[in-house]
Amino acid sequence: MIWQLDLFLLTLVAICALATVSVRGLLSATITFAAYSFLMCLVWAEMGAVDVAFTEAVVGAGVSTIFFIAALFRSTTRSPLLIRGIDDPHHFKDQGWKVLPLILSVVTGVLLFYGMSDFPAWGDPNSIPATRVAAHYVENALRETHVPNLVTAVLGDYRGYDTMFELVVIYCAGISVVSILKQENL
């Protein structure tokens, strides 16, 4: 963990998140959200979690942005305010701050920060998750599974059934999305 990079990255991530919420127009918000995902992927990679970073790059930055744009493209609303952020007197006006969602999100944030105090320190070898099964994986995975990458060994061998049925779920979801998008030419 390199603190100079961390400081810079997390500042940019926070700016991006605020911009995503506050920007006018759904298309702009989608694009700002893609930038947020790109930076978040850098944060994961910088913490050494390359696999999570890979997932974030594929799902967060790539697929979900395309899905958002496809949904925007296929939505029947043609309000310029909603899609592009242009004021149109014939459509509804921006209603300013919404108090109840603001209170809800602040309370949720405070609760999450409160729950975070129970977490072990980053990279702590004596934390509870690191002292139970992890040691067995680290010591025996190569001999038992002959897979050089530890994460792949756990996902594809020790938790093979779990991963297989996850793949089934993702496959079904993919078929549904494709069949919905296929109805009319995108």
Interface stretch with other proteins, choices 37-45, 99-107, 108-116, 155-163 (CB under 8 A): 37-45
Q: Does 150 interact with other proteins (rule: CB under 8 A)?
A: no
Q: Does 84 interact with other proteins (rule: CB under 8 A)?
A: yes
Dist CA 183 CA 147 (whole Å): 42
Least gap, CB of 28 to other proteins (angstroms): 6
The only residue of 14, 86, 110, 180 in contact with other proteins, by rule CB under 8 A: 86
Instruction: Give the ranges where the chain is alpha helix by DSSP (H).
Output: 3-22, 26-46, 50-55, 64-74, 80-84, 99-116, 128-131, 133-145, 150-153, 160-182
Give the dihedral sign, CA 62/17/186/177: positive
Dist CA 115 CA 20 (whole Å): 26
Least gap, CB of 157 to other proteins (angstroms): 20
Contact residues for other proteins, defined by CB under 8 A: 2, 4-5, 8-9, 12, 15-16, 19, 23-25, 27-28, 31-32, 34-35, 38-39, 41-42, 45-46, 48, 50, 53-54, 57-58, 61-62, 65-66, 69-70, 72-73, 83-87, 186
